[in-house]
Amino acid sequence: MVNSDRPYTVDDNVRFINSTVNSVYELVALIPGSDIIMNYLKESYQHDPFRVVLELFLVFFAIKYMLAKRYKPNDNSEINELVEEWHPEPLVPALSSFDRMNLEKTPVIIGPQSAKPKVAGHTKPLLNLATTNYINLVSSEQIKEKAISTLRNYGVGSCGPPGFYGTIDVHMDLEKDIARFLGTDECIIYAQGFSTISSVIPAFSKRGDLLVVDEGVNFAVQKGVQISRSNVRWFKHNDIEDLERVLEEIRVDDLVHKKRLTRRFIVTEGLFANYGDIAPLSKIVELKIKYKYRLILDESQSIGVLGKRGAGLTDLFNVNPTQVDMIIGSMSTTLCSSGGFCAGSNEIIDHQRLSGSAYCYSASIPAMLAVSASEALKIIQLQPSILTELSERMQSVRQTLKHKSMEPLIDIHSPEMDSPAPFLHIRAKSSFLKLHLKGEENEVSREDEERLLQDVVDECAYQGVLVTRAKYVIDQERHCPKPSIKIYATTGLTKKETEKAASVVKAAIIKVFGKWRRA
Amino acid sequence: MTTIESNSPSSKLAVPSANGSDGKATGGRARAFSLSTIMAGRARRSYSVSSAYPPNSNPSLYLSPPRSSGDHTFSINADIPLPYPPGSSSLSDVTKLQQFSSLSVSVAQRRNSTAALRRKYEDLEQKLEATPLWVLVSTYLNYLILILYGHLRDILGKVFKRDEYAHLRTHDGYAPLVSDFDSFYTRRLYMRIRETDFVNSKNSMASSDCWNRPITGVASRTVKLLDRTSDDFNKTFSLSGTTTEAVNFASYNYLGFAQSVGECADAVEETVKTLGACSSSPRSEAGGSSLHRQLEGKVAQFVGKPAAIVVSMGFATNSTTIPTLVRKGCLIISDELNHSSIIFGARLSGASIRVFKHNNMDSLKLLLQEVISQGQPRTHRPWKKIMVIVEGLYSMEGSIVNLPALVQLRKQFGFYLYVDEAHSIGALGERGGGVCDFYGISPSHVDILMGTFTKSFGAAGGYIAATKDIIDYLRLKNHSFAYAESITPPVAQQILTSITIIRGDDGTNEGRKRIQQLADNSIYFAARLREMGFIVYGDEGSPVIPLLVFNPAKIPAFSRELLQRKIAICVVGYPATPIITARARFCVSASHTRKDLDYALEHISEIGDTLMLKVSRAARKKLE
């Protein structure tokens, strides 16, 4: 019995298993595409059974992982302890005595800003050599009238970004006025001069693009360069040969590594806010064309003062403005309004209307300020003679300060007598500072130098002249320029007054520098 | 989102403790991928903590009516008849709360009142309603067709019209200024929406593109649009010389101070006459005047902080202040929907940046636990400072920050809190003092209060208010102070006078009236839109009311139809919003009359029917 039964049982079981496997197989075969997998499995089993085992194991593990419960630590005591242990630094550090001095010595103007403003702490009005009120538009009655009539039609604020009903007709007029004045196709206006270039640069130059930047550019440009996250190469301040060297290096490098062509820009400043010198535009334009770069030019300081018409660097060097791809300027300097602009071709301006973050995400400038800027442009265009007057004032300031007795004491930036720049920096000569080293010092600290200059500023104010040290956010500048006193010329003061003011500055320097560290 | 319950009247600030839903929400760091997150219907986002929510079986539906009547402290004028049948709407509670908002109560008293103690974000919150499935599908299809069609045009255009596509190619050794890929959206989607409707321009209708509409005059209750036409499918526009006056639901003129007449304008005129229109130097050099000092004092007083500074541009207020407060080794924790200026400033600062889910305090708490316990990446040294940056009122969502919970978290974790009140200052709170005033929380619980003058004050620029130490430091280190022009006298005067009016320092009730009118208008408008069946975002009391239109094709349709009916609105689509939730945004103002609102509502309802926008299931449920 046993013998006859056994094969029967086995056969039965096999049949059962076979039929089950078959029906499952048929079911699987019903799924479209499953035959590919089956064939694959069959073949791979024959070729490499070990791999099938491994794959099955992986599938099993993946399913187990997905179905597993999330890991939750039962008690947070460790985390809580860490949280409790953590003590942040104070939000701001305590102010040093130098900081306190800076705060206290910042002048506060009482009443209107003008060529002879009243300043808190002084009974008499001071002669103002500290503001960009170059052609005295601050006191222009014409602009005031225009501003008031605009106020009565448009109110003050625009209550919206340009995209959402913040584009007022006077904005469009101002854009046209500036474009016509500079000779470019179009122009776009921003609500603050400082924020303009730091928004224009990242609108065009993205990660992977290349910026070749002058080392002496102002803070706003530095921030624009930083936020663009592009590759940056710096060239020596106003050194054309160094610029060419950098461009040549990049060209060779591109050839060697066969790099993809990316957007490339040269970034520089027209009239350098930190040094008072002027970029050699015609040579830069030559290089830019030769190496096929686009040129971004910050003319915040030069618009309205440089060139015969006051149209900035392109006017001064007689360069066709369309050869400079982007001219960025400020309406808060010469034009005595507020805001900034970028002028260029249609393509460049149109792109910014969607990509310039300070344009898109900020309210447009108040209508009255736009109109003031338009009016200021008109005044400059109608009376270009004030620009000659301005350069005369500056020359008399230079003449006074370049006196022989001053030579061992100070450096003047920039020193050329015929420079059209309407302001200059006075910096203590390093040879003078070295003479007065104390004890073990290797060099005079920045703070001491600033204090020295502040003493000059105080002395000037005491004698009736308002000047100011150039202010920087020292720890955030790339290479902070040496401390300086910034002197601005203005046509608001007569020639005589300007000469008098300059000689006060001169006398103050001699007096303060003479006394310094003798005690 | 989970609704956090915390009804215990004894809790000090009545802050819903962010650990309210303990156990569930306070798990460790979420696993990168787990089946249960998919099951619960949440797609993981790019932030490491966002999937760590307790699964919620009933997410994102309409909020039930508030649990107690004392929760709303909005004051409603009794003489304006409420449009709701009493008892049927959640707003019927509002009538009851007039007893809480008596004008005679002082600020301090109000802050400590029962109403303030019981005010919770959860009661103001309007849950974001989920998009109905068929709308979701049709919207994606809509985009798919647009994109396919755009690519087709690109391909054909590049073959047959080479000249028109020259700017996308490398030419003459210059790389294209905008890359083909980057500009695809602008060229093929944005431009189409902006495109002038052909029939309309033939009929010399009002110009009907949807963005950058130029205007003239004051953007107050109404706005005068300059009509323009385009002959080249709106690459360029030309002005036709005529104007169209439309009711203005687009400008951020919350308190109606955009005026060319009245007390503010008179004061500004006087200032221009005496002080001129410019200050021509940075604040740190010689551009600071006694007017600035006076303004800063007034602003500090208004927001309830010891000191303040003012900056000449709202955008720059953020972008030039944040880098001076934090630096490398510090951490910025930012709401995912924060404004571009905050992102700009955060990037400049060099600090690490982490993001939490919009207004979600559970997400923030988990993130805080993670970052504090883990420290800086790689080195694991403790962070030098952690600064949480949020906005008071989000201009795209209309949501109000959950400040009570944030303040609680600040106490627990010791981070610094930076609140951007660009939209909320003036517009929220019983005396217009922003979110702190709105919740009755002392401003001392917030480290830095930032705001702008562009919106409620009808001026320009922005402020930072904080303790005197912080402000003194900022006076020295803020980029705008050292390098940028200072606020001009006319703008400063406009702010001064408008704050004087809002505070009631001029001895009139004008400011209080405006604030009440605004609160009335916003609550009324949003409630009516919800009633009609639209999907409306925005928390209760928000003057910004986004109405979802979803499909990209409906964006221009909605905007143009409304403009034809003389109503000016903003429409916003991707990339300013998520791709699916394109929206129309209404900014309600105190200068709107009830008649204006009703006029607009009537037409919106009509257009909503035509465009099939009334898709809210919550509203339908309510009707049944």
Binary contact (B285, A486; C-beta < 8 A): yes
Instruction: Please count the residue pairs, one from chain A and one from chain B, whose beta carbons lie less than 8 angstroms apart.
Output: 371
Taking a C-beta distance cutoff of 8 angstroms, is the pair A369, A338 a contact? yes
Binary contact (B480, A91; C-beta < 8 A): no
Min Cα–Cα distance to chain B from A213, Å: 18
Q: Determine which of A152, A159, A185, A354 to mutate to test the interface with B (most B C-beta atoms within 10 Å).
A: A159
Report the pLDDT value the prediction gives residue B118, as an integer from 0 to 100.
Answer: 55
Nearest to B312 among A87, A209, A338 (CB): A338
Band (pLDDT 50/70/90 cuts) for residue B153 is: confident
Strand ranges in B189-314 using DSSP code E only, listed in sequence order? 214-216, 222-229, 238-248, 307-311
Binary contact (B277, A67; C-beta < 8 A): no
Nearest to A165 among B251, B313, B344 (CB): B251
A chain contacts of residue B283, beta-carbon cutoff 8 Å = 106
Binary contact (B250, A164; C-beta < 8 A): yes
Band (pLDDT 50/70/90 cuts) for residue B76 is: very low
Task: Taking residues A121-125, report their average pLDDT.
Answer: 92
Report the pLDDT value the prediction gives residue A72, as an integer from 0 to 100.
Answer: 63
From A33-47, A240-254, B212-226, the region with the lowest mean pLDDT: A33-47
From A82-86, A359-363, B196-200, B573-577, the region with the lowest mean pLDDT: B196-200
Min Cα–Cα distance to chain A from B251, Å: 5
State whether the Cα torsion B129-B133-B135-B137 is positive or negative.
positive
Taking a C-beta distance cutoff of 8 angstroms, is the pair B519, B537 a contact? no
Q: Determine which of B278, B388, B481 to mutate to test the interface with A (most A C-beta atoms within 10 Å).
A: B278
In the beta sheet, which residues pair with residue A487?
A: A424
B chain contacts of residue A62, beta-carbon cutoff 8 Å = none
Binary contact (B273, A262; C-beta < 8 A): no
For residues B303 and B310, what is the distance between their CA atoms, to the nearest angstrom?
Answer: 13
pLDDT in tens, A346-376: 989 988 988 889 998 999 999 999 999 999 9
Binary contact (B273, A112; C-beta < 8 A): no
Cα torsion B193, B199, B200, B203 to 10°: value is 160
Min Cα–Cα distance to chain A from B496, Å: 13
pLDDT in tens, B173-221: 888 888 777 788 777 777 776 654 433 433 333 344 677 788 888 888 8
Q: Which residue has the higher pLDDT, A327 or B176?
A: A327
Min Cα–Cα distance to chain A from B517, Å: 19
For residues B279 and A471, what is the distance between their CA atoms, to the nearest angstrom?
Answer: 17
Taking a C-beta distance cutoff of 8 angstroms, is the pair A283, A240 a contact? yes
Q: Look up residue B307 and give its two tokens.
A: 């000191």
Binary contact (B482, A172; C-beta < 8 A): no
Binary contact (B290, A294; C-beta < 8 A): no
State whether the Cα torsion A121-A126-A132-A133 is positive or negative.
positive
Report the pLDDT value the prediction gives residue B501, as an integer from 0 to 100.
Answer: 94
Share of chain B above pLDDT 70, in %: 77
Band (pLDDT 50/70/90 cuts) for residue B11 is: very low
pLDDT in tens, A134-158: 999 999 999 999 999 999 999 999 8
Report the pLDDT value the prediction gives residue A56, as an integer from 0 to 100.
Answer: 87
Q: Determine which of B270, B280, B311, B469 to mutate to test the interface with A (most A C-beta atoms within 10 Å).
A: B280
Q: Do β-strands B582-587 and B570-572 pair in parallel, antiparallel, or remain unpaired?
A: antiparallel
Nearest to B223 among A102, A165, A365 (CB): A165
- Whole-number mean pLDDT of chain A? 90
Min Cα–Cα distance to chain B from A503, Å: 21
Binary contact (B276, A111; C-beta < 8 A): no
From A78-82, A217-221, B181-185, B542-546, the region with the lowest mean pLDDT: B181-185
Task: Taking residues B508-528, report their average pLDDT.
Answer: 91
A chain contacts of residue B170, beta-carbon cutoff 8 Å = 261
Question: Residue B138: which residues within 8 A CB-CB, separation 6 or more?
Answer: B550, B551
For residues A450 and A483, what is the distance between their CA atoms, to the nearest angstrom?
Answer: 6
Give whole-number Cα distances, A364 to B41, B340, B425, in Å: 43, 16, 19
Min Cα–Cα distance to chain A from B69, Å: 35
B chain contacts of residue A154, beta-carbon cutoff 8 Å = 216-218, 260
pLDDT in tens, A429-440: 988 988 888 777
ipTM entry: 0.85
Min Cα–Cα distance to chain A from B45, Å: 18
Which pTM value belongs to this model? 0.82
From A28-42, A299-313, B359-373, the region with the lowest mean pLDDT: A28-42
Q: Reply yes or no on whether the pLDDT at A471 is more than 80.
A: yes
For residues B452 and B466, what is the distance between their CA atoms, to the nearest angstrom?
Answer: 15
From the number of C-beta atoms within 10 Å of its C-beta (0-12, 13-18, 19+), residue B538 rates as: buried
Report the pLDDT value the prediction gives residue A66, as an integer from 0 to 100.
Answer: 87
For residues A294 and A348, what is the distance between their CA atoms, to the nearest angstrom?
Answer: 11
Share of chain B above pLDDT 90, in %: 47
DSSP reduced 3-state for B65: coil
Q: Reply yes or no on whether the pLDDT at A297 is more than 60.
A: yes
For residues B578 and A500, what is the distance between their CA atoms, to the nearest angstrom?
Answer: 64
From A24-28, B207-211, B352-356, the region with the lowest mean pLDDT: B207-211
Report the pLDDT value the prediction gives residue A499, as an integer from 0 to 100.
Answer: 94
Band (pLDDT 50/70/90 cuts) for residue B394 is: very high
Q: Reply yes or no on whether the pLDDT at A495 is more than 70.
A: yes
Report the pLDDT value the prediction gives residue B124, as an integer from 0 to 100.
Answer: 73
A chain contacts of residue B242, beta-carbon cutoff 8 Å = none
Number of Cβ atoms within 10 Å of the Cβ of A515: 12
Report the pLDDT value the prediction gives residue B617, as an integer from 0 to 100.
Answer: 81
Binary contact (B211, A143; C-beta < 8 A): no
Taking a C-beta distance cutoff of 8 angstroms, is the pair B467, B475 a contact? no
Report the pLDDT value the prediction gives residue B420, as an integer from 0 to 100.
Answer: 95
Report the pLDDT value the prediction gives residue A82, as an integer from 0 to 100.
Answer: 86
pLDDT in tens, A284-295: 999 999 999 999
State whether the Cα torsion B335-B339-B340-B345 is positive or negative.
negative
Min Cα–Cα distance to chain B from A405, Å: 28
The upper half-sphere exposure of residue B252, i.e. CA atoms within 13 Å in the direction of its Cβ, equals 34
The upper half-sphere exposure of residue B318, i.e. CA atoms within 13 Å in the direction of its Cβ, equals 27
Q: Reply yes or no on whether the pLDDT at A42 is more than 80.
A: no
Share of chain A above pLDDT 90, in %: 68
Q: Look up residue B248 and give its two tokens.
A: 């203005």
Closest to A133 measured CA to CA, from A299, A432, A323, A337: A337
B chain contacts of residue A174, beta-carbon cutoff 8 Å = none
Min Cα–Cα distance to chain B from A300, Å: 11
Binary contact (A466, B286; C-beta < 8 A): yes
- Whole-number mean pLDDT of chain B? 78
Nearest to A472 among B190, B265, B482 (CB): B482
Q: Which residue has the higher pLDDT, B30 or A419?
A: A419
Binary contact (A131, B285; C-beta < 8 A): yes
Band (pLDDT 50/70/90 cuts) for residue B119 is: low
- In terms of C-beta distances under 8 Å and separation of at least 24 residues, what long-range contacts does B163-167 make, across chains too? B167/A347
Q: Determine which of A91, A296, A330, A374 to mutate to test the interface with B (most B C-beta atoms within 10 Å).
A: A91
Question: Residue A417: which residues within 8 A CB-CB, separation 6 or more?
Answer: A395, A398, A399, A402
Strand ranges in A241-325 using DSSP code E only, listed in sequence order? 264-269, 294-298
pLDDT in tens, B233-249: 666 677 778 888 999 99
Report the pLDDT value the prediction gives residue B232, as an integer from 0 to 100.
Answer: 66
From B72-86, B172-186, B288-302, the region with the lowest mean pLDDT: B72-86
A172 → chain B, closest CA residue: B214
Q: Can the peptide bond before residue A139 be classed as cis, meaning omega within 30 degrees of 0? A: no
B284 → chain A, closest CA residue: A106
Report the pLDDT value the prediction gives residue B2, as an integer from 0 to 100.
Answer: 38
pLDDT in tens, A401-453: 998 888 889 999 888 888 889 999 999 998 898 888 877 778 888 999 999 99
